[in-house]
């Protein structure tokens, strides 16, 4: 009984280490297979269009509502201390430092990540990846690498759009509906947000999330069991592992970046 | 060298489960060789091994005089350029049109001008009778047509070796005849060598020059279709004449019916 339990733990750890090793090797293989893309940028731009453009609506709408809520909640709290003029600063810092990159990455995992996993998983199930190999075309280079770079490029752009739309949302609620002073809203934001410490760090975060979420989605699809059930499980894993990784990485990055 | 592909003492296993044991096979240049056997006899695995997608546990495969090095990825990709493979369900890229599917290997491996590429693709599609379906998506054509598109794609680079994985499975009799005819014609027109994995006796015998029979991962008989049709080997006889019981039992092995019904105990 106890032996079985110990054996199960051992097996679990071993499988985790093996999958970590496979994942790392695949990651470097994808990076290694990326060189040829410089000559065929079209493959990447097509994927940026597919991954980025189709995520725009969900990112835009979510950004707007998060901005609305930030405007409301921020106003209620700041109002207690009579400092509602700082609303613009609060909204902008919350979005550029945290909510922009994190919420975008979570939405991205759900919207684009799942579609990447399902697409590649079904390509595998339909023997399309095997067919590609037999045509002497490396699927890592032709299928995974362009999607990977498209995700890495699309994520910071989407996060920037999320934050920009969110700030407009905060402005609509705070200034237009509640009546916070417009001059204070923008000038406090301008004075208090630093282009390097806040915005660049936020962009850096979203690039890291882009690498993590896109690679997890691609890897799950590539390693999926080539059955309907296998693809379904892989898609679920993309969301679960992708989201948890984003949250864990966010904690790490925040601790490293904003430790003053 | 008269043989394009030579397999020597080949063993393959998934973990502890042996799939192929001690295969010795020759595939002479210019010939159509059929590999036949029941489902799960390891036929498709042979194609995957020749294509270098699986690594044998023992033995060797030589393609065009060169021993396949399964650890050298770059060499494997170079070797595959000389090969075309038709997958069982076609394995067409579902997001591309019929035209783009056939153009895919050409675009990947050459820098042909667009007009030349277009002419080449249309010629390949003409050969399989689907030139006018060029702009359709794989979802808009029938299974038999998809198989023909996949065939056009497999021969896009004029390969030396064409491998067919169950090209007749799930086709109606007309499409089956069309496919068989195409395989023979393409092989002769391109001067290539074909390996045909199938369990369809009639169509395979009608186009093959030589036949290998595989059962449980071993070669049980080989010869020309005529020799095989007249063979006394119990397995070949059962297979060729589609008999329900014989060396391949109808019942999944295990306990007897009497045991399961408890009849043994009462007797």
pLDDT in tens, A151-190: 999 999 999 999 999 999 999 999 999 999 999 999 999 9
- Contact of A133 with chain B, judged by CB distance below 8 Å, is answered with yes
Q: What is the pTM of this model?
A: 0.89
The interface pTM score, or ipTM, of the predicted complex is 0.86
Q: Would you call B104 and A136 a contact, using CB atoms and an 8 Å cutoff?
A: no
Cβ-based neighbours of A73, under 8 Å, separated by 6 or more? none
Max distance between CA atoms of chain A, in angstroms, equals 70
In B, minimum Cα distance to A127 occurs at: B91
- Mean per-residue pLDDT over chain B, rounded: 89
**CB within 8 Å: A127 and B94:** no
Report CB contact under 8 Å: B94, A126. yes
Mutant choice from B85, B106, B197 vs A, greatest count of A C-beta within 10 A: B85
Q: What is the pLDDT of residues B150-185, one digit of tens each?
A: 999 999 999 999 999 988 888 888 888 888 998 999
For A31-35, B50-54, B175-179, which range has the lowest pLDDT when averaged over its residues? B175-179
Tokens of B61: 């495969």
pLDDT of residue B259: 86
Interface check for B83 against chain A (CB to CB < 8 A): the answer is: yes
Hey, which residues does B67 pair with through a beta bridge? Answer: B62
Gap between the Cα atoms of B203 and A67, Å rounded: 68
Span A101-116, average pLDDT: 96
Task: State the smallest CA–CA distance between residue B202 and chain A in angstroms.
Answer: 27
Q: Are strands B58-63 and B3-14 parallel, antiparallel or unpaired?
A: antiparallel
Query: Can you tell me the mean pLDDT for B19-35?
Result: 93
What residues contact residue B36 under an 8 Å CB cut-off, 6+ apart?
B43, B197, B198, B199, B201, B204, B211, B212, B213, B214, B239
Q: Which residues, numbered 136 to 165 in chain A, qualify as contacts with chain B under a Cβ-Cβ cut-off of 8 Å?
A: 136-138, 142
Cα–Cα–Cα angle for B57, A24, A13, rounded to 5 degrees: 80
Q: Chain B neighbours among A 186-245 (CB < 8 Å)? A: none
Subunit contact B92:A128, Cβ cutoff 8 A: yes
How confident is the model at residue B234, as a pLDDT?
84
Q: From B77, which residue of chain A is nearest by alpha-carbon distance?
A: A136
Per-residue pLDDT reduced to its tens digit, A56-108: 999 999 999 999 999 999 999 999 999 999 999 999 999 999 999 999 999 99
Q: Which of B85, B92, B93 sits opposite A134 (nearest CB)?
A: B85
Q: Does residue B199 contact residue B214 with C-beta atoms inside 8 Å? A: no
Q: Do A133 and B83 touch (CB under 8 A)?
A: no
User: Which tokens is B70 given?
Assistant: 């399964």
Residues of A within 8 A of B92 (CB-CB) are 128
Q: B106 near B120, Cβ under 8 Å?
A: yes
A136 to B85: CB separation less than 8 angstroms, yes or no: no
Outline where DSSP puts E strands in A49-116.
none
B236 has a pLDDT exceeding 90: no
What residues of chain A lie within 8 A of the CB of B94, using their CB? 126, 128
* A135/B53 Cβ within 8 A: no
Structural contact between residues A73 and A90, judged by C-beta atoms closer than 8 angstroms: no
CA distance A113 to A51: 9
Those residues whose C-beta lies under 8 Å from the C-beta of residue B181, and which sit 6 or more positions away, are B207
Q: Tell whether B89 is within 8 A of chain A (Cβ).
A: yes
d(CA A128, CA B51): 15
Q: Given this model, what pLDDT does residue B127 score? A: 87
Which residues contact residue B148 at a Cβ distance below 8 angstroms, ignoring those fewer than 6 apart?
B128, B129, B130, B178, B179, B182
Q: Quick one: three-class SS letters along B4-52?
A: EEEEEEEEEEECCEEEEEEEEEEEECCCEEEEECCCCCCHHHHHHHHCC
Judged by CB atoms closer than 8 Å, whether chains meet at A128 and B91 is answered as yes
A126 touches chain B (CB under 8 A): yes
Chain B nearest C-alpha distance from A236 (Å): 23
Q: Contact A134/B89, CB-based, under 8 Å?
A: no
Mean pLDDT over A19-41 rounds to 92
Q: Is B178 within 8 Å of chain A by CB?
A: no
From the CA of B93, how many Å to the nearest CA of chain A? 6
**Cα dihedral across residues A200, A202, A203, A204: positive or negative:** positive
**Angstroms from A80 CA to nearest CA on chain B:** 57
**Cα(B108)–Cα(B247) distance, integer angstroms:** 47
pLDDT band at A260 (very low <50, low <70, confident <90, very high): low
Structure tokens at A16: 């985790």
A128 contacts in chain B (CB < 8 Å): 91-94
Using the beta-carbon criterion (under 8 Å), do B89 and A127 form an inter-chain contact?
yes
Query: Which residue in A130, A253, A106, A201 sits closest to B88, CA to CA?
Result: A130
Positive/negative CA dihedral, A237, A243, A249, A251: negative
pLDDT exceeds 90 at position B12? yes
Beta carbons of B80 and A135 less than 8 Å apart: yes
Instruction: Answer yes or no: do A138 and B81 touch at CB < 8 A.
Output: no
**Angle subtended by helix axes A145-171 and A100-108, to nearest 10:** 130
Instruction: Give the tens place of pLDDT for each residue, B105-164.
Output: 999 998 899 999 999 999 999 988 899 999 999 999 988 889 889 999 999 999 999 999
DSSP states along A199-250: IIHHHHHHHHHHHHHHHHHHHHHHTS-SSHHHHHHHHHHHHHHHHHHHHHHH
| pLDDT-above-90 percentage for chain B | 58
Instruction: Compute the nearest-CA separation of A131 from chain B (Å).
Output: 6
| pLDDT value for A161 | 97
A123: nearest CA in chain B?
B93
Asked if A184 and A192 touch (Cβ cutoff 8 Å), the reply is no
A to B CB pairs, distance under 8 Å: 48
Partner B contacted by A131 (CB < 8 A): yes
Q: How confident is the model at residue B267 (pLDDT cuts 50, 70, 90)?
A: very low
In this structure, of A110-114, B55-59, B207-211, B213-217, the range with the lowest mean pLDDT score is B213-217
Window from A130-139, A144-153, B177-186, B241-250 with minimum mean pLDDT: B241-250
Q: How would you label B106-118 residue by residue, b for 16+ Cβ within 10 Å and e otherwise? A: bbbeeeeeeeebe
Are the beta carbons of B51 and A134 separated by less than 8 Å?
yes
Our CA-based measurement puts residue B97 at a distance from the nearest CA of chain A, in whole angstroms, of 14
Q: How far apart are CA A157 and CA B267, in angstroms?
A: 80
CB-CB under 8 Å, A138 with B91? no
Rounded Cα distance between B48 and B168, Å, is 18
Q: Where are the beta strands (DSSP E) in A71-127?
A: none
């Amino acid at each position: 009984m106890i032996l079985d339990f110990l054996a199960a733990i051992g097996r679990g750890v071993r499988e985790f280490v093996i999958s970590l090793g496979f994942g790392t090797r695949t990651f470097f293989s994808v990076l290694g297979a990326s060189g040829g893309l410089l000559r065929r940028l079209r493959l990447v731009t097509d994927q940026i269009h597919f991954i980025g453009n189709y995520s725009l609506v969900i990112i835009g709408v979510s950004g707007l509502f998060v901005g609305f809520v930030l405007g409301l909640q921020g106003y209620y709290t700041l109002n207690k201390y009579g400092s509602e003029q700082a609303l613009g600063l609060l909204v902008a810092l919350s979005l550029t430092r945290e909510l922009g990159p994190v919420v975008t990455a979570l939405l991205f995992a759900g919207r684009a990540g799942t579609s990447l996993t399902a697409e590649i998983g079904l390509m595998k199930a339909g023997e399309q990846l095997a067919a590609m190999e037999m045509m002497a075309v490396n699927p890592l280079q032709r299928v995974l690498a362009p999607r990977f770079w498209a995700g890495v490029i699309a994520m910071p752009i989407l996060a920037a759009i999320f934050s920009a739309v969110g700030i407009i949302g905060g402005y609509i609620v705070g200034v237009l509906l509640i009546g916070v002073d417009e001059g204070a809203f923008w000038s406090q934001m301008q004075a208090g947000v630093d282009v390097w410490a806040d915005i660049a760090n936020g962009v850096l975060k979203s690039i890291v999330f882009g690498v993590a979420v896109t690679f997890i989605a691609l890897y799950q699809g590539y390693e999926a069991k080539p059955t309907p059930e296998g693809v379904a499980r892989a898609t679920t894993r993309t969301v679960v592992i992708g989201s948890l990784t984003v949250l864990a990485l966010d904690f790490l990055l925040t601790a490293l970046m904003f430790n003053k | 060298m008269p043989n394009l592909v030579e397999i020597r003492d080949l063993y393959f296993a998934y973990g502890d489960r042996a799939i192929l044991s001690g295969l010795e096979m020759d595939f002479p240049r210019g010939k159509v060789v059929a590999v036949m056997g029941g489902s799960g006899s390891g036929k498709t695995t042979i194609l995957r091994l020749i294509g270098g997608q699986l690594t044998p546990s023992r033995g060797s495969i030589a393609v065009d005089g060169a021993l396949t090095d399964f650890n050298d990825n770059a060499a494997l990709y170079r070797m595959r350029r000389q090969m075309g493979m038709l997958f069982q369900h076609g394995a067409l890229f579902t997001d591309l049109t019929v035209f783009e599917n056939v153009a895919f290997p050409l675009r990947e491996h050459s820098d042909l001008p667009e007009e030349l590429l277009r002419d080449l693709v249309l010629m390949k599609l003409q050969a399989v009778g689907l030139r006018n379906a060029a702009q359709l998506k794989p979802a808009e054509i029938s299974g038999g047509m998809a198989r023909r598109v996949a065939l056009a794609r497999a021969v896009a680079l004029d390969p030396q070796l064409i491998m067919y994985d169950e090209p007749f499975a799930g086709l109606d009799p007309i499409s089956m005849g069309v496919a068989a005819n195409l395989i023979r014609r393409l092989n002769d027109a391109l001067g290539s060598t074909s390996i045909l994995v199938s369990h369809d006796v009639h169509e395979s015998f009608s186009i093959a020059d030589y036949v290998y029979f595989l059962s449980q991962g071993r070669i049980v008989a080989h010869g020309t279709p005529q020799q095989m049709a007249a063979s006394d080997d119990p397995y070949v006889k059962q297979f060729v004449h589609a008999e329900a019981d014989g060396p391949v039992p109808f019942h999944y092995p295990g306990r007897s019916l009497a045991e399961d019904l408890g009849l043994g105990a009462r007797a």
